[in-house]
Structure 1
Amino acid sequence: MSVFADLVAHLADLLQPLFHASATAVAIVLFTALVRLLVHPLSRAAARGQRARIALQPQIAELRRKHAKNPEKLQKAMLELHAKEKVSPLSGCLPSLCQLPAFFLLYHLFSNTTIGGESNALLTHKLFAAPLGDRWHDALGDGGVLGPQGLVYVGLFVIVACVAAFNFRRTKRMMAAGTAGMPTVTDEQLPGMAASMGAVSKFMPFMSFFTLVSVAVVPLAAALYVVTSTTWSAVERAALYPLPSAGTAPGTSAAPATP
């Protein structure tokens, strides 16, 4: 972790003449953008994978019809189909998984009071009036919601709420366009799956708003990572997964943009 701390500190030193006391906060934002840029090829691959999975839906529907009474054969046939077409059902998870180490390093860096047996000087750095090692409850105890520290979090909450609202509208529109085009799975074919998918579909658009909870409970430095990464994701998905055009037929969904 000391190597990671040195990297953040060195980047902050380079930015200090421009951003002064907030240089470390800006360094975290730039570091997050760099991580997302490095992961972007995986996001593009995930978009290609989703386009391929959409193309396989008619064959998957046929397999479900053929093996409706034998879930084991259905699972095996679907795995064989994905392998034959070189489509990974898990490709969409890779971008998120690859970001986790960077987030946890940042979280631990600004949660520990010492690094290598020495005092963690990074905890004294701030974003405006708010220390990067503090959490929202610390800001509430030092001036309240509208205090100098509280206003920093208000700004972050506003950004997250705007991004979440943007994601909410896009998710609702994409689900409305794509639901009718998905293969039908009845209770007789796969018991319980239809009801479960319906519950997930209703819940999914609201998931973006849970980022507000993350920003409130993690150290401010980690919150900056979350806010920057969430905003990047919203822009990235808007580019890679365009909404259906006005002329798109009902029950169909737009394919991801060609990377």
Structure 2
Amino acid sequence: MSVFDVFAELVARLSGVLAPVFGASATAAAIVGFTLCVRLALHPLARAAVRGERVRAALAPRMAELNRRYGSDPVRLRRELERLRSQEGASPVAGCLPMLLQLPVFFAMYHLFTADEALLGHTLLGAPLGGRWFGALQAGGVLGGPGLVYGALFVLVGAVATWTYVRTRRLMAAGTVGAAATAGAAPGVAGGAAMARMLPLLSFGTLATVAFVPLAAALYVVTSTTWTAVERAALRAGRAPGASGAPAAGAASRRRRSTT
């Protein structure tokens, strides 16, 4: 039995459990529930990824200094970077490996929700799980039942993408996201900085995904994306340790000086 069969069986059983509550939309609810369960099981990997990001962010200033001093000597630069990582007990792939380990699971789930005929034959409030946005528009227009289902998904995805965009821009302004990306890219620091500038815009790519994939896959993508945003906020991803308290402490110090 393949992993796709295992996932399909789990979704089918969860759908049977949810059927008394959700009726004809039980399979759609099961997709959401199954996605949340998988993301919860993968949460330790997400925590490890955030710890790796913080390691890279902490080392970024020192790596940038090494790049400035030895940029003209790639061999010496590589040796100095390896020495720094060895001294600090940091891996050059810290934060990346946990994310890579999650990819096979995400691909398996995406394949399941785009190719399993048994799942795609069900509906969500009248919208076929195997259908797409353009088909929903042709069937009943924007205000038709399926069109409204997609409209709700677009609103949710847009809200999450906007929140992620604003949050990433703030972290970049504070220097933490840009530092982490740059540290991971050394000695090609310029490439890391370019990647960091693109980060805020990537969140809106989910809108296009939802528009073109089957509704079952769209539910998975929306659920997973929302989970990621909430999870990273809860873990304070992109923030250096103690960063949240620094502005408050500085403000308190200024107030004390002003009163004296």
Q: Give the TM-score, by structure 1 length.
A: 0.80
Note if 1:235 corresponds to 2:236. no
Note if 1:175 corresponds to 2:172. yes
Corresponding residue for residue 224 of structure 1: 219
Alignment of 1:74-85 (within 5 A): 74-85=77-88
Are the equivalent residues in 1 in contact too, given 2:123–2:129 (CA < 8 A)? yes
- Deviation larger for 93-102 or 131-140: 93-102
**In structure 1, C-alpha distance between the alignment counterparts of 2:53 and 2:95, rounded to whole Å:** 8
Alignment of 1:61-210 (within 5 A): 61-112=64-115, 120-178=117-175, 182=179, 193-194=189-190, 196-210=191-205
**In structure 2, C-alpha distance between the alignment counterparts of 1:222 and 1:144, rounded to whole Å:** 21
2:35 counterpart (9, 32, 44): 32
Deviations 1:195-246 (A, max 9, x none): x455434322111011101111111111111111111111111122266544
CA-CA distance at 1:132 after TM superposition: 1.1
Alignment of 1:244-259 (within 5 A): 244-245=243-244, 246-247=247-248
Q: 1:247 corresponds to which letter in structure 2?
A: A
Distance 1:174 1:75, change over 3 A: same
**In structure 2, C-alpha distance between the alignment counterparts of 1:181 and 1:24, rounded to whole Å:** 41
Q: 1:26 corresponds to which letter in structure 2?
A: A
1:214 counterpart (205, 209, 212): 209
Are the equivalent residues in 2 in contact too, given 1:35–1:99 (CA < 8 A)? no
SS in structure 1 of the partner of residue 140 of structure 2: coil
Are the equivalent residues in 2 in contact too, given 1:129–1:148 (CA < 8 A)? yes
CA-CA distance at 1:180 after TM superposition: 11
**In structure 2, C-alpha distance between the alignment counterparts of 1:176 and 1:143, rounded to whole Å:** 45
Unpaired stretches in structure 2, ≥5 consecutive residues:
251-260
Distance 1:80 1:140, change over 3 A: farther
Are the equivalent residues in 2 in contact too, given 1:106–1:221 (CA < 8 A)? no
**In structure 2, C-alpha distance between the alignment counterparts of 1:57 and 1:135, rounded to whole Å:** 44
Distance 1:124 1:209, change over 3 A: same
Please, what is the CA RMSD of the aligned residues? 2.8
**In structure 1, C-alpha distance between the alignment counterparts of 2:21 and 2:176, rounded to whole Å:** 49
**In structure 2, C-alpha distance between the alignment counterparts of 1:148 and 1:4, rounded to whole Å:** 29
Q: Give the TM-score, by structure 2 length.
A: 0.79
Deviations 1:150-189 (A, max 9, x none): 1111100100000011111111111001179959x9xxx9
Note if 1:47 corresponds to 2:44. no
Length, aligned pairs only: 237
Distance 1:169 1:61, change over 3 A: same
**In structure 2, C-alpha distance between the alignment counterparts of 1:229 and 1:91, rounded to whole Å:** 23
Q: 1:37 corresponds to which letter in structure 2?
A: L
